[in-house]
Structure 1
Amino acid sequence: MREKLETKYHTEREDICNRLITILELDENHSILLNVLENDTDKQIKILDMKNEIQKYFAVSCLTPFKPNATCKRPYINILRGILRKQGYTFEASPILIGFENGKSISTSKYRIFRNK
């Protein structure tokens, strides 16, 4: 029987998760705002540049950014959420109001990332 990737490459998978979390520069509550990530193209590029390495150690057929001819609005979020969840992290999203502009409220999502115990 073939050895599962999660067993065979446990150390490499943990290293990738740690690098993804380091790229995000989470705050003290282990969270990041979506608009911060959307406006930081360096972080997006760093995450997307890891696609080839991620494919070596994770089964990615169920993740949209890795499917040929598939499009998604925010592939970097799909990669983060999919990979971190496979390693036992919880990826919580909650709406948050960040201010007002021209009488309209501006909201975004706050992503909190933590490890399941």
Structure 2
Amino acid sequence: MSTLFTKIIRGEVPAYKVAEDSQFLAFLDIRPNAKGHTLCIPKKEVNKIWDMEAEAYQELMRFSRKVALALERSVKCKRVGMAIVGLEVPHVHIHLIPLNDMSGMDFSNHVKMEEDEFTALAKKIHNNMAL
């Protein structure tokens, strides 16, 4: 059975995409810890990050770094934090979260965003990927 993320990759479920290449996809988390909270995923469905092939893991980190740098240029924050939890969806995903304090890493807190905010922010991050 396909994961939610595989359905996003296939276009069966909508997402606020910020970056994509042949192997990876980045999109805004719809239950963000902070505005700009982004998920980076491999297009190949793998349950646990440590089950990824070493080269694919390294490429995912490179892709995530590019997205994090674009995120820093797009959202005012002290830094972009990274978390790999993997319990919510059985598909490898890296959380990139704009942080101003440690409470941004508390996954029980979520900020409310409207659809137009998601759309505008996804476009802004996407546009900052080229820099």
Shorter-chain TM range is: 0.3 to 0.5
Q: Which structure has the highest helix share of the two?
A: 1
Larger Rg: 1
Q: Which structure has the highest strand share of the two?
A: 1
Highest relative contact order (Cα 8 Å, sep 6+), 1 or 2?
Answer: 2
TM-score (norm 2): 0.30
